[in-house]
Structure 1
Amino acid sequence: MGYYDDIAVCKTEKKLLELWKTKESVTRSYVDKKQEKTVSINHKNVFISDGIVNEAVWHHQTGRKILYVLKEAYGENEDWDLTEWLLRAKPSSSVWKRVIEWTYGIQNTSENGIAKYSPDIYEHHTELFNHIAVVNLKKSGGKSSSDYGEIEAYALADKEEIKKQLRLIAPDIILCGSTFGALNHVFDNKIRPQGVQCDNWFYYTDMISDSRTLIIDYYHPANYYPALLNYYAVTNIFQQALLYQKEKGEN
């Protein structure tokens, strides 16, 4: 069997990431500000694992399974595991504080009401991290200022692996942090067909699991909007998605 055959039959996320790390390097071209650029993608140099933060909790939880699809993880010198870091992390950066806030809001919002924002959310960061998964489209060489063309080049080069990882995770909800366009391209523009636009920034798809998956198209957690504005934007989008589902009789 070849590399992609092994990916196709892979049964666990751990095994998938181990295989992914062994992938042969490739060079991809992309356009940035009207200039053609190339990037060498070599996971054998540095590979930052990600995915389900706590598998024991994820596979047995009764709450909503939320996956964050982000751009890239920082760190260029050696391999490391984002999920292990999140298990013991105390959030200090705006990225992970936002993830905590948004997770709380989505977990506690219903068709009938939006969970009220509270500064006390941070006290529950360990519990909330235990109930999420995080996938970076670019798994090496992260920078504080992302070149979107490069992110998409990585995503398309690794599209089979990304699709497999998402299907193994099988989330109920995917929140894209400025990554929806790239993720849609990974799935051959079948999440949002060309010409289709949702004014409320959410989509449902059957491309990822046996049940329909809600995908929220939002800004990256590191955006400069105030925390309160972000919180109520995300929770309102989620509530609108629930109401849409109810109207369609899909509950």
Structure 2
Amino acid sequence: MDFISWRKRELHKGKFFINDGILNQDLWDKAPVKVLFLMKEAYESSVETAQEWALNEYLASKTLGEIGKPMWWSTAQWLDGINKLITTGEVQPFDEHYKSDLKVEEAFQSCAIINIKKSAGKSSSTTDDLTKYVDCDWDLLLDQIKKINPDLIICGATYPLIASKLVSPEKSAEWFYQAEGYCFVDFWHPSNLWPYKVKYYSLLSALKQSKEIWEPKR
């Protein structure tokens, strides 16, 4: 992705810009389901950091335990559950020992993660602010999605922000929309404070209902 041109847009000039994308290309290529998470924003917590960085490269360089953020444990659980749903056709029980399961780590590394707001990120932003970035960058965001070419796009509380940009989105199942040739899931942000198990079963149950639509045909 041409992030050099992206960061030159007026909205991003002079602001801290964070790249994103596929975490591990080899694992992405082998993944039973290629899952893209469409998130809101990443941010640099240290005011002393001057060097810009890439979210996907940062996440790929560490274990989930080293990262230590509950939201990434949630995404890993979901990915592991999606892989098992494809393999078995059923929603598998929540893995209580997920923190010691190497398959959960591997599942996490096989995904792609991109943010709507790639510069001037904060721990939280208003809907108006995020919408400004969607309006400015939608052509590039859609191009980035197309280059990644996922089987499934899980929107972490971002679907309402992009819905008006999609051409004729069709609701096909619970939380599930088809548009632009892709499958979008309108779901909670992984940092949502519901228990891990509630989020896992909610998402996987909905995906089981729509499995015939989004399951890769390969």
1:202-237 CA-to-partner distances (Å, cap 9, x unmatched) read 1123x1xxxx43211101111111110000001011
Q: Which of the two has greater strand per residue?
A: 1
Could you tell me which amino acid in structure 2 is paired with residue 20 of structure 1? W
Do the aligned partners of residues 131 and 225 (structure 1) sit closer, same or farther apart at CA in structure 2, a change above 3 Å counting? Answer: same
For the pair 1:19 / 2:5, whether they are aligned, the reply is yes
1:159-202 CA-to-partner distances (Å, cap 9, x unmatched) read 11101000000000000011002222333x5324xxxx566111
Q: How does 1:49-88 map to 2 (within 5 A)?
A: 49-58=19-28, 60-75=29-44, 78=50, 79-88=52-61
**Higher deviation after alignment, 156-165 or 75-84:** 75-84
Contact 1:117/1:228 (<8 A) preserved: yes
Contact 1:178/1:219 (<8 A) preserved: yes
Match of 1:103 among 61, 65, 79: 79
- Flag the structure with larger Rg: 1
Question: How far 1:90 sits from its partner (Å)?
Answer: 3.0
**Distance in 2 of aligned mates of 1:82 and 1:245:** 27
Structure having greater relative contact order (Cα 8 Å, sep ≥ 6): 2
TM-score normalized by the length of structure 1: 0.75
Q: Which residue of 1 aligns with 2:91?
A: 114
Unpaired runs of 5+ in structure 2? none
Q: Which residue of 2 aligns with 1:239?
A: 208
Q: Which runs of 4+ in 1 moved over 4 A?
A: 243-246
**Distance in 2 of aligned mates of 1:113 and 1:236:** 9
For the pair 1:46 / 2:16, whether they are aligned, the reply is yes
Contact 1:184/1:191 (<8 A) preserved: yes
Percent identity between the two aligned chains: 27
**Distance in 2 of aligned mates of 1:240 and 1:215:** 14
SS at match of 1:174: strand
SS at match of 1:232: helix
Do the aligned partners of residues 121 and 74 (structure 1) sit closer, same or farther apart at CA in structure 2, a change above 3 Å counting? Answer: same
Could you tell me which amino acid in structure 2 is paired with residue 137 of structure 1? I
After superposition, the CA RMSD in angstroms is 2.3
Question: How far 1:243 sits from its partner (Å)?
Answer: 4.5
Contact 1:87/1:126 (<8 A) preserved: no
Question: How far 1:84 sits from its partner (Å)?
Answer: 1.0
Do the aligned partners of residues 19 and 55 (structure 1) sit closer, same or farther apart at CA in structure 2, a change above 3 Å counting? Answer: farther
1:132-160 CA-to-partner distances (Å, cap 9, x unmatched) read 00010001222223312211111111011
SS at match of 2:36: strand
Unpaired runs of 5+ in structure 1? 1-12, 26-40
1:54-104 CA-to-partner distances (Å, cap 9, x unmatched) read 12332x315100000000002275421101111123331121111111111
SS at match of 2:120: strand
**Distance in 1 of aligned mates of 2:79 and 2:141:** 22
Could you tell me which amino acid in structure 1 is paired with residue 32 of structure 2? G
Could you tell me which amino acid in structure 2 is paired with residue 174 of structure 1? I
